[in-house]
Amino acid sequence: MTKVINFAHRGAAGHCPENTMIAFKRALELGATGIETDVQMTKDGHPVLIHDETLHRTAGSPEWVKDVTLAELSTKEAGSWFHEDYCGERIPTLEQLLELVEPRDTIINLELKNGVVQYPGLESKVIDMVRRFGLSERVIISSFNHYSLVECKRIAPEIRTGILYMEGLYEPWEYAKRIGADALHAFQYAVIPEFVAAASEQGIPYHPFTVNERAEMQALIRAGVGGIITDYPDRLAELLTAEGG
């Protein structure tokens, strides 16, 4: 059986406040072999790790990420919304995450959040930092903005890209080949064994999201997916051990 990548969605988001350093560290402790996170950019051009375009939900502040500087962002508290035990957690930079994983063999899935907000130069900023850390072979860049994925391949053909989509994309493995993408990051219910087999024949793995129930994880493992994106990397680690994958 091909080794399945255990991608911790926004870190161990089922256990810790999402997209924080404590969530990333906890994910590794729980057996994650990959980390999935979201990249946006501050007003002064620093790539930072946060899912929403505004700070409202996780930092209790009305500003948009694009409208604050890194210095301003660093003052925002982003843990207590999840639980008081995490009061004081901050919104990390991409650099902080890459420093954490550099000495390990962890795969990093960087989702570029450039749909609602178009961040000029986000692709090149992210790629430059990945290259600076020497992590090109361990990074997958994904996005719902497929124009952005094409741009990433133009800049850095050596870095893998993954097509994010929901459902109903016809023969997505053919579409992936057309835009030079390397993986299919599909909503979990858009993945069935026949699709996995057809994509595998073209050398394109599925990395479905966001899979939290053990039965669904097990079905996808047995279908032959290349990775699973989950809020609970501990659950997936247990299953992979049992399945020998």
The total number of structural domains in the chain stands at: 1
233: domain CATH number is 3.20.20.190
CA 127 to chain centre: 15
Per-residue confidence (pLDDT) for residue 221, from 0 to 100: 97
Structural domain span for residue 132:
5-243
- Tell me what the mean pLDDT of segment 73-79 comes to: 98
Average pLDDT on 181-205 reads: 98
> Which residues are marked as active site?
9, 51
Angle ∠(133,37,129) on CA atoms, nearest 5: 20
Report CA 79 to chain centroid distance, whole Å. 19
Q: pTM (2 decimals)?
A: 0.97
Pairing relationship of beta strands 34-41 and 5-9 according to DSSP bridges: parallel
Alpha carbon separation from 74 to 31, 50, 90 (Å, rounded): 29, 12, 6
From residue 25, give the alpha-carbon distance in Å to each of 12, 51, 88, 96, 179.
Answer: 8, 18, 16, 11, 34
Which of 216, 236, 200 is closest to 13 using CA atoms?
236
The span from the CA of 53 to the CA of 24, in Å, is 20
pLDDT in tens, 140-190: 999 999 999 999 999 999 999 999 999 999 999 999 999 999 999 999 999
